[in-house]
Structure 1
Amino acid sequence: MLPKAREGVNARDLGCPPSPSQIRRIWPSALAPLRHRASLALRRGASPGACPASRRGSAPGGRGPAGAAVPRKVCPPVAQLPESLPIEPRGPLNARVQVPGSKSITNRALLIAALADGETTLAGPLASDDTDVMRDSLTTLGAQFDTRGDPWAVVGTGGRLRSPSNALYVQNSGTTARFLTAAACLAPGPVVIDGNPRMRERPIVHLVEALTTLGADLSIEGEKGCPPVRAAGGGLPGGPGRIDGRQSSQFTSAILLAAPYAERDVELSFLDGELVSRPYVETTLAIMRDFGAQAGWVEKTDAHGGGDCIRVSAGLPYRARAYGIEPDASSAAYPFCAAAIAGGSVSVDGIPPNTLQADFRILELLEQMGCKVVRQADRVTVRGPTGALRSLGEVDMNAFPDAALAYAVVALFADGPTRIKNVWNLRIKETDRLAALETELRKLGARADADRDSLYIQPGPLHGAEIDTYDDHRMAMAFSLAGLRIPGVVIRDPGCVSKTWPHYFDVFRGL
C-alpha cells in the first residue's frame, strides 16, 4: 500500500531529492537566470527512475505493453554533463540498448490512474522532467504517488479532483498542459494551468473552444490563444462536440481522457474531418479501454457533412489495475538512426510486435533507405546499409512528426535531396522545430530550406559545428547523431535531454 503523504506533498518526495521541475516551479520568475543554471545542474545530478541499460550484449529488462511487468532497477545519478558536449565520430556500431518508458503512454497512464478509484501500479514508466510535472500537478489535484522504485504506485481520486489555490505549473510539457486543461473541468472549482515562456507561446485555443462545445467553462488568460488557461470547474456536461484537429492530436486526447467522467456521453467530431497525428489518438483510446473505459470511433452524419467521430460513454470510470509501460518509440528512433548513419547494428529491447506508437514508423523509412530491420518478439534490430543511404524524395511525416528531427539528420547522408512534408505542427513544439532544423543543418554544410509545413534538405560537403539545441531535447538527441560521422560536432546544453531521456548521453556513449 502507498504510504500516506502530507497534503500537497508527493509521497515520492519523502526522503528524495527535489526534481528539476519542482525547483523550477518553486522559484520565482525573477530568478530566471539563476534558475536556468541551477536547473541544468540539477538535471545532470540525481534523478530517480527506471534505468535504460546500454551495454553490448546486455540482457533486456522485462516489461509488456499492458500488464504486469518485471521491475527494472532504479537508475544511478545521471552523469554530469558539460555546457557543451563534443561528439566523437565512430562506427560501425554494435550495441543492444533499452530505451526508457514511453512518455506518451506514461503521462496518459498517470492521468488515468489519478482519475481511477483505487491503487494502480505502473511498471517501466518514464522518469523525466515531463513526467515530473505531470505527477506534481496530479498530486496538487489530489492523487498520491510512490515513485521510489519500479513499479510506481498511484492512489487515484475516483474523479474527485481538488481545486488548488495556486496555478499548476507545467514547465514546457505539452501533454501535461493539454491533458490537465480538460481534466481540470472535473474539479469543483477553478484550476489555472500555466507554464514557462515557451509554453505561453504554444496555442491552446482549439482545445478550449472544443471543451466549450461540450459545456465546459474555460477562459484563456494568455496572449494569442496561449496559456495561462483557467478552467472554472464544476464538471464536464458532455454531449456532442466539435474540435479543430489539424493543429495537435493532444487536444483530442485531452478531451477523450476526461470524457468518462462527463455527465453525458461525449461524441467528438472533427472540423473538415481532419485529425493530425491520428496514431497518437489511437494510443489514447487503447489505453483508456485497457482501464475499463468504453471509447471508440463511430460513423455519424450531421449538418456539417458527417464523417467519423469518437464516442466515449459516460458513467464508466477507469478501473485501477497493474499496467506496463512499453518502451518509448520517439526515443528508440535515435539508436535506430544511429545504425543507419554510422553502420553496424543496434538492437532495442522490449518493443512489443503490436505497438501502436507512431514513431516506430521510422523503421519503414530506414528500410526503404537500404537498412535491414529485423523484428523479433521483444526486440528490433537495425543494421546499416551496405552502400549509401537512398534518398526517398518526398516523405509525409504528418502521422509521426516527432521522428522528423532524427530523420532530417539521417537525410544529411542520403544520396540525394529529401523533403519532409506535412509537418506544420513542428512549429508549435518545444521550439519552432522547422526553423531550428533549418538553421542547424545549414551550420553543418547542408542546404536546408523550411517553409510553412515542410523542410527541404540537400546534402553537401559536411563539416563540424556547434549546435544550438533551443532547450529542446529532440534537437540535442537528433544532432548528436550527426557527430557519429562528422568530426567536430558539439552539442550545446546537452542536459536539455532530461525532458524525456535523462540518461540519453550515457546510452549514446555506449553505442
Structure 2
Amino acid sequence: MIEIKPHRFGHCRISVPGSKSYTHRTMIAAALSDGSCTVRNPLRSQDTLLTLAALEKMGAAVVDNRETVDIVGLNGCFKPCDESIYLANSGTSMRLLAGVAALGRGTYRFTGSPRMYHRPIGHLLEALNQLGVAARAVEENGCPPVEIPGEQVSGGPVTVNCSVSSQFLSSLLLMAPCTPKGMSITISHGLVSSPYIDMTVDILERFGIQVQRDGYIRFDVKGNQTYRAGVYTVEPDASQAGYFWGAAAITGGSVTVNGVTDASSQGDVGLVGVFEKMGCKVTRAADSITVTGGTLRGVTVDMADMPDMVPTLAVVAAFAEGTTVIENVSHLKAKESDRLASTCAGLEKMGIEARAEKDRLVVTGGKPRGADIQTYDDHRIAMSFAMAGLVTPGVKILEPDCVEKSFPNFWEVWQSLYAA
C-alpha cells in the first residue's frame, strides 16, 4: 500500500518511458525483419518483457541491453516452439502474437493469467480461420488460452470484427506482408481505438512495408514484402504522460512532459485537448507539451479513441464543476479489469457520484474524500487515483506494484512532483 500525500506544486518538467504500444509493435517487426535490429528507448515493463520473451521462444535472437534491445530477425518465419508461451494478463501480447504466430512452423500455444482467460480474442481467431489457419480457443469460448498452427497461411481477402479491440486488425496487419499472397483486410464492425491502427501502420512503414488503405475501412498489404533491419527508436509514452498532465489539472500546477508532441500517432496525446476544454491551459512546443491547471468544468467527450485515458479523465472529472460524460467506452469492460466498474468503485469510495452505463461513464464532480483504492491488479487504476491524493488527504493505493505492467518506475517519477 502507498499513501499519496497532498502536495501543491508550481512547475515540474518530467520524462516518461518509451511507449508501450510502440515497443510491442517495434519488437515484433524487428523479430520478423531480415537482419539485426536495435530498438532504442524501449519500455521495459512486465507486458513488453513478456512479448520479448515470447519472441525469443519463437526463435528470434535477443540481447537486452536495458537502454536498447538487439533483435536478430527471422525474415518473416518463426521457429517451432514446443512449450506453452505464458503471457500473464498482457492482452496486447496475446492478440498481436496470435496473428504473427501463423507465420511460423508447428503449433504455438499461448496461455495467461486467470483474468486473461476472460478477455475476448474470438474475432481474431475467426479472421485467421478465414485465412485457412485452424486457430482455436482451447476452451472453445472465444478467449485464451489459444492454439495457433503455423505453415497454413497464404493470405488473401479477410474480414475482421474490431468492435471489441483494434488489436485484432493490428495483428493481421503485422502478419500480412510476410504472407505469399498478401492480404486485403476489410473491417466489418468497429473500429474502436483507431489511433492504435495508425501506430501499427507507422511501424510497418518505418520498416519498409507498403500499405494501402481506405481510411479505417479497408487495408491492402502486398505479400512477400520484407521488414527492413535497422535502428529504431521508441517515442515516449503519451498514456503515461496523461497522469502527470492530470496532476497539473487537479492541483492547478504546471507539468511539462518531454518528448511528447502533437505530431505523435499516439491517440492519447488528445487528452490534453480534453483538459483544455475543461479549463486548463495547454502549451504545445516542438519537443514537449505543458498542461497548467485552471478552474475545471465538466465536459461531454467521446473517448473511443483514447480508452486507456478514461480512468485518468474520470478522476480529474471528480474535481470539476458539473458532470462529465465519457462516451463510447463499453470496450473498457474487457481490459485488465472491468475499467468502468473499477473506476466507479474507486470514485464512489471517495464520495463522488459515478455510474457506468451501457456505453458511457458519468461522473459528477464534488469534494472527494480519502479512501483505500482497490486497484484490481490494474495499473491504470493505480496511477489514475494517485492523482487524487495530491489534493485529497488519506488516499491509499492498494497493490501499488501493479504499475510494473506498463510503468515500472512510476512511483519514482511521481516523486519528482514533490520536488517542484
Q: Residue 509 of structure 1 is aligned with which of 387, 394, 415?
A: 415
| Matching of residue 226 in structure 1 with residue 133 in structure 2 | no
1:296–1:283 distance in 2 versus 1, CA, 3 Å = farther
Q: Which residue of 1 aligns with 2:221?
A: 312
Name the residue aligned to 2:314: 408
Counterpart in 2 of 1:216?
Answer: 133
- Residue 379 (1) aligns with residue 285 (2): no
Listed one character per residue, the Cα deviations across residues 480-500 of structure 1 (whole Å, up to 9, x for unaligned) are 001011110000011100001
Instruction: Read off the aligned partner of 2:296 and give its amino acid letter.
Output: L
TM alignment of 1:234-245, pairs within 5 A = 234-245=151-162
**What is the identity, as a one-letter code, of the residue corresponding to 2:197?**
V
Asked if 2 retains the 8 angstrom alpha-carbon contact of 1:296 and 1:310, the reply is yes
How far, CA to CA, are the matches of 1:457 and 1:223 in structure 2? Answer: 38
Query: Which aligned pairs between 1:402-441 and structure 2 lie closer than 5 A?
Result: 402-441=308-347
SS in 2 for 1:125: coil
Amino acid paired to 2:282? V
Q: Could you say which residue in structure 1 is the equivalent of 2:13?
A: 96
Q: Please say if 1:475 is aligned against 2:386.
A: no
TM-score (norm 2): 0.97
Query: Secondary structure at the residue paired with 1:241?
Result: strand
Aligned-pair CA distance for 1:235: 3.9
> 2:29: which partner in 1?
112
Instruction: Output one character per residue of 1:248-291: Cα deviation in whole Å (capped at 9) or x when no partner.
Output: 0011101101111112120110115x311111101100110110
**How far, CA to CA, are the matches of 1:150 and 1:491 in structure 2?**
30
Aligned to 1:391: 298
Per the alignment, residue 70 of structure 1 pairs with none
Counterparts of 1:93 and 1:120 in 2: how far apart (Å)? 42
In structure 1, distance between residues paired with 2:14 and 2:358: 36
Measure, in 2, the Cα distance between the counterparts of 1:233 and 1:311.
22
Indicate conservation of the 8 Å contact 2:319/2:367, yes or no. Answer: no
- Gap runs ≥5 in structure 2: none
Residue 82 of structure 2 is matched in structure 1 by 165
Once residues 249 and 366 of structure 2 are traced to their aligned partners in structure 1, the CA distance between those partners, rounded to angstroms, is 18
The DSSP-based 3-state class of the residue aligned with 2:16 is coil
Q: Give the secondary-structure state (helix, strand or coil) at the position aligned to 2:125.
A: helix
- Could you give the per-residue CA deviations for residues 442-467 of structure 1, whole angstroms, max 9, x where no partner exists? 00000111122211111233210000
Q: Which amino acid counterpart does residue 218 of structure 2 have in structure 1? A: C
Question: 1:452 and 1:223 mapped to 2: Cα distance?
Answer: 26
Corresponding residue for residue 286 of structure 1: 202
CA deviation profile, 1:98-147 (whole Å, cap 9, x unmatched):
00000000000000000101111111110000011001100000111212
- For 1:360, the equivalent position in structure 2 comes to 269
- Distance in 1 (alpha carbons) for counterparts of 2:214 and 2:198: 13
For residue 219 of structure 1, report the CA deviation from its aligned partner.
1.2
List per-residue Cα deviations over 1:391-442 (Å, max 9, x = no partner): 11x2110011101110000000111011111001100000100111111110
Contact 2:162/2:188 (<8 A) preserved? yes
- Give the Cα separation in 1 of the matches to 2:110 and 2:264: 32
**How far did 1:295 drift?**
1.2
Q: State the partner residue of 1:252.
A: 169
Q: Does 1:156 align with 2:73?
A: yes
TM (norm. structure 1) is: 0.80
Secondary structure of residue in 1 paired with 2:186: strand
Aligned residues of 1:185 and 1:217 also touching (Cα < 8 A): no
Which letter maps to 1:127?
Answer: R
Secondary structure class of the residue paired with 1:275? coil
Distance 2:13 2:298 in 1: 27
- Shift in Å at residue 222 of structure 1? 2.7
Alignment of 1:263 with 2:180, yes or no, is yes
1:382 positional shift: 0.8
Distance (whole Å) between structure 1 residues aligned to residue 262 and residue 4 of structure 2: 33
The one of 122, 132, 145 aligned to 2:39: 122
| SS at 1:268 equivalent | strand
Separation (CA, whole Å) in 1 of partners of 2:405 and 2:383? 11
* Distance in 2 between residues matched to 1:194 and 1:298, nearest whole Å: 35
Secondary structure, counterpart of 2:177 in structure 1: helix
Report the Cα distance in structure 1 between the residues aligned to 2:178 and 2:264, rounded to whole angstroms.
27
Task: Tell me, in whole angstroms, the C-alpha distance in 1 between the residues paired with 2:387 and 2:203.
Answer: 32
Percent of matched pairs sharing the same residue: 42
Query: Aligned Cα RMSD in Å?
Result: 1.2
Deviations 1:163-222 (A, max 9, x none): 211111011111110011001111111111111101011010000001111222211103
Count residues in correspondence.
Answer: 417
Does the 8 A contact of 1:412 with 1:457 survive in 2? yes
Provide the rounded CA distance (Å) in 2 between the counterparts of 1:356 and 1:298.
18
Q: Which residue of 1 aligns with 2:253?
A: 344
1:352 shift after superposition: 4.1
| Contact preservation (8 Å) 1:445, 1:462 | yes
Post-superposition offset of 1:313: 1.1
Give the SS at the match of 2:308.
helix
d(CA) in 1 for partners of 2:387 and 2:45?
A: 21
Match of 1:297 in 2: 213
Superimposed CA distance per residue, residues 280-328 of structure 1 (whole angstroms, 9 cap, x where no aligned partner): 10110011011011113138xxxxxxx9311111111201111110000
Distance 1:354 1:321 in 2: 23
Partners in 1 of 2:289 and 2:48 — Cα distance?
26
Q: Secondary structure in 2 aligned to 1:247?
A: coil
Residues 320 and 366, structure 2, Cα contact 8 Å, conserved in 1 = no
Aligned 8 A contact 2:321 2:366 in 1: no
1:330-365 CA-to-partner distances (Å, cap 9, x unmatched) read 101000111000112111111244211010100100
Residue 176 in 1 paired to residue 93 in 2?
A: yes
Report the 3-state secondary structure (helix = DSSP H, G, I; strand = E; otherwise coil) of the residue aligned with 2:217.
Answer: strand
Find 1:335's aligned residue among 231, 241, 244: 244
Distance (whole Å) between structure 2 residues aligned to residue 415 and residue 451 of structure 1: 21
Distance 1:125 1:168 in 2: 21
**Distance in 1, Cα, partners of 2:312 & 2:41:** 24
* Match in the other structure for 2:403: 497
Q: Is 347-356 or 320-329 further displaced after alignment?
A: 347-356
What is the CA–CA distance in structure 2 between the aligned matches of 1:352 and 1:372, rounded to whole Å?
15
